[in-house]
Amino acid sequence: MTKILLFGYGKMGKMLEDVINSSSDCSFEGSIDIEDLKNLEHMGKVADVIIDFSHPDMLRPLCEYAKRTNTAVVSGTTGYTEADNAMLKELSNSVPVLYSSNYSLGIAIMKIVLAKMRDLIPDDFDIELIETHHNKKIDAPSGTAKALLDVLDEKEEHKKVYGREGMCGAREKGSIGVHALRGGTVAGEHTVVFYGNNEVLELTHKAESRRVFAEGAVSASKVLANKEAGFYTLSDILQS
Smallest CA-to-CA distance from 217 within 107, 60, 100 is with 100
Smallest CA-to-CA distance from 49 within 211, 237, 222, 219 is with 222
Smallest CA-to-CA distance from 91 within 60, 137, 120, 112 is with 60
Is 137 an active-site residue? yes
Which one of the listed residues 111, 133, 190, 222 is annotated catalytic? 133
CA 199/CA 197 separation, integer angstroms = 6
CA 58/CA 9 separation, integer angstroms = 12
Which one of the listed residues 45, 55, 67, 137 is annotated catalytic? 137
Distance from the Cα of residue 175 to its chain's centroid: 25
Active site residues: 133, 137
